Structure 1
Amino acid sequence: MTHDRDRSPAQEARAAAIEWWVVSRAGFSREERARFEAWRAADPAHAAAYADIERTYAHVRSVRRARRAQAPAKTRRRERLVAGAAVALAASLAIYVAIGPLSIMLRANVATGTGETRVVTLSDGSTVTLDARSAIALRFTEGERRVSLLEGEAWFEVVNDPARPFVVEAGGGTVTDLGTTFDVDIVDGGARVAVGEHSVAVASKGEMVIVEEGRQTSFAAQSPPAQPSPAPRSLAAWRRGSLVFEDRPLGEVLRALGRYRRGFVECATREICARPVTAVLPAGDPRQALREIELFLGLRSVHFTEMMVILYE
């Protein structure tokens, strides 16, 4: 289970209880069952927190059954969509809790937590600003400076050294610095690259494009990079505490917002996640950001716990 030094013992117990509950919904392995029982027996607060989560879920189910008995067909269909999304979300959360952070942490040299950004000065004098829930691994040699962006998003300000190229690996491709500042964001298994100053060479699937200042490109996993297009004026606005989106799909917006809040937010349908969003959201207040998204798009939300939120119409 994960830990946060800023949380009180009661908050820590509740957060761990939620994580254990999600894992239990996906099905305990024998080892997980033993670790769960040991955790629950270690402190009465643990057992109480877990019992509270179970009572909350039981109450949600009973209310849902009562409403379903009286609901019209359209409402029942909507609830089925929400329930289906909740099952998928629980499975995703269970996988994330079980292997996501651990696999990243084992490889990372530098990482940030939920809602945390960090500026790191590398041994060559270059700097990397990490967005929340981001991680990098470093491999510097006499002939090359190589950084792997394992998760999240990062802003690079590179000290020029022609004898030691600066290369960023991300999403199955590479970004080679040509004396510049640039942003790299992991997106759907690939990456998006935007240039603040000068230019970079972006390569993927055996093809390469040069991206000049004020331009951006992207590539999906195992696909060549797209032709460069204008980068948003609000490039890397997260460094200033804002999440700025210009005609981006809601699913992408929720992914970015997820770096600043614990748990997962998902759409009840793919159509909802595909809706375009143009907005400026406060990175430091993810609850308010989520409320604004609901208001902008005319959506509603159901909170199974703070860790699991479904958006629906």
Structure 2
Amino acid sequence: MSRFKVGNDQPLDACVLDQALNWMVTLQSGTSGAAEQQACQQWRNENPQHELAWQRLAGLSREMGLNTHALSAPNARQLLRARSAPSRRTLLKGFAGLSVATALGLSVRERVLLPELFSDYHTATGERRHVRLANAAEVQLDTRTAVDVHGARLALNLGRLLLATGTDSSLSIKTANGWVRPAAQSRLIISHDLPRQLGTGVQLLSGSASIEPLHGTGLRLGTGQQLTFNSLQSAQPAALPSTADAWTQGLLIAERMPLGEVLEQLDRYRRGVLRCDPAVAGLQVSGSFSLDQPEASLDLLAKVLPVRVQRVFGYLATVVPA
């Protein structure tokens, strides 16, 4: 029996909850032994918050029927062997995110786990990052973005980036759907596998770029234009909204956007799980919301719309009718 009393509403630190998730999935992944079990018990005994986090996760698992066996034991072992010892902790954190997300039906997060772990550059939830390339080219990575860099060739595996090419006219960006080849002195946003986006998105802030689907006819995109393309074809170019790069400043600008779509955008920047009751998903939203402070944005939505936010120890949040 635990020596800590856990039946209370004490708030939990996000880092402690992450650690609890790591331990829970480690012990149930088929890769652990007596040493890991002993180390986990020692971690639980170190601090009342540790035991509280463990008990709450165990209780949530029982109540919601969560299954943390998201990876089979052979697959888990293969991943662990593929990385050096210092990366084991990162992999286990990935297992935790994968297990909980899969159990809650978030298949998108399952698909993106490996690119986030193994790409040359990647960002965590809520993080943005600047990367300087050769010939004065620069890239700003959005949250949950994974990119590989091979000289003048970039591969966007997941997420969204803003690329400023500088004087380099040889840069090219590959996604699963084809190639984007921007001209020198161009600024453009490229996105892949974002919510409600079918294919790869390209937005030209300045300059021009060639779009080349893997198996389709290419076209040229100019300043102020945007389109999406898949491996077979490109959509017709459309006018670029003036707020296209608001995310680089940590803002989400909504203009009569359905609440469900607003929450999908906020969910990319929020640690944990964010869900929307279908009864309120169609409510129209207009306004400016912080991506860097998604919890404050949720509270603001609850003030201006007939909704309320149900939270479970800071990780699981559901927006429901007020």
- The answer, yes or no, to whether TM exceeds 0.5 is yes
- Aligned-pair CA distance for 1:48: 4.0
Structure 1: gaps spanning 5 or more residues: 1-8, 62-86
Go from structure 1 to structure 2 and tell me whether the alpha carbon gap of 1:151 and 1:305 turns closer, same or farther (over 3 Å shift): farther
Give the alignment's Cα RMSD to 1 decimal.
3.5
Structure with bigger helix share is 1
Structure 2 counterpart of 1:111:
122
Question: Deviation of residue 121 (structure 1)?
Answer: 0.8
1:285 partner letter: Q
Aligned ranges for residues 64-79 of structure 1 at < 5 Å? none
- Give the structure 1 partner of residue 205 of structure 2: 196
Q: Tell me the distance in 1 between the aligned counterparts of 2:266 and 2:20.
A: 23
Larger mean Cα displacement after TM superposition, 123-132 or 9-18: 9-18
Counterpart in 1 of 2:273? 264
2:104 is aligned, of 91, 94, 97, to: 91
Q: d(CA) in 1 for partners of 2:284 and 2:302?
A: 13
Determine the structure 2 residue equivalent to 1:155.
162
Q: Which residue in 1 is equivalent to 2:54?
A: 50
Can you give the 5+ residue segments of structure 2 that lack an aligned partner in the other structure? 1-11, 66-99
SS in 1 for 2:220: strand
| TM-score, reference length from structure 1 | 0.71
User: What displacement does 1:41 show?
Assistant: 1.6
Whether contact under 8 Å (2:135, 2:168) holds in the other structure is no
- Secondary structure (helix, strand or coil) at the match of 2:147 reads strand
User: What is residue 187 of structure 2 aligned with on the other side?
Assistant: 181
| 1:65 equivalent in structure 2 | none
Structure 1 pair 228/258, CA: closer, same or farther in 2 (3 Å)? same
Correspondence for 1:211 among 198, 221, 234: 221
Give the number of the structure with larger relative contact order, counting CA–CA contacts within 8 Å between residues 6 or more apart: 1
User: Relative to structure 1, is the Cα distance of residues 152 and 250 closer, same or farther in structure 2, using a 3 angstrom cutoff?
Assistant: farther
Tell me the percent identity: 24
Q: CA deviation at 1:89?
A: 7.2
Deviations 1:203-252 (A, max 9, x none): 33413232211111123x54522111111111211222322233444444
Alignment-mate amino acid for residue 124 of structure 1: N
Q: Name the amino acid aligned to 1:177.
A: P
TM-score between the two structures when normalised by the length of structure 2: 0.69
Residue correspondences, number: 267
Contact kept, 8 Å, 1:242 with 1:281, in 2: the verdict is yes
Give the Cα–Cα distance (whole angstroms) in 1 for the partners of residues 305 and 34 of structure 2. 44
What code does the residue aligned with 1:13 have?
V
Q: Is the 1:282–1:288 Cα contact (8 Å) retained in structure 2?
A: yes
Query: Is contact 2:216-2:231 (8 Å) kept?
Result: no
Query: Residue 104 of structure 1 aligns to which amino acid in structure 2?
Result: E
Contact persistence 1:216–1:231 (CA under 8 A): yes
CA separation in 2, counterparts of 1:30 and 1:60? 22
Partner of 1:131: 142
Residues 248-303 of structure 1: per-residue CA shift (max 9 Å, x gap) = 4444433332333211212233x754555432111222111112233444223222
Cα-to-partner distance string for 1:136-159 (whole Å, 9 max, x where unaligned): 11012xxxx211122221111003
In structure 1, distance between residues paired with 2:226 and 2:282: 21
Q: Distance in 2 between matches of 1:200 and 1:216?
A: 11
| 1:222 to 1:260, Cα distance in 2 relative to 1, 3 A | same
Mapped contact 2:135–2:167 kept (Cα < 8 A):
no
Indicate the residue corresponding to 2:19 in structure 1.
16
Shift of 1:101: 3.8
Q: CA deviation at 1:196?
A: 0.7
Distance 2:231 2:111 in 1: 23
Counterpart for residue 81 of structure 1: none
Match of 2:31?
Answer: 31
CA distance in 2, matches of 1:215, 1:274: 28
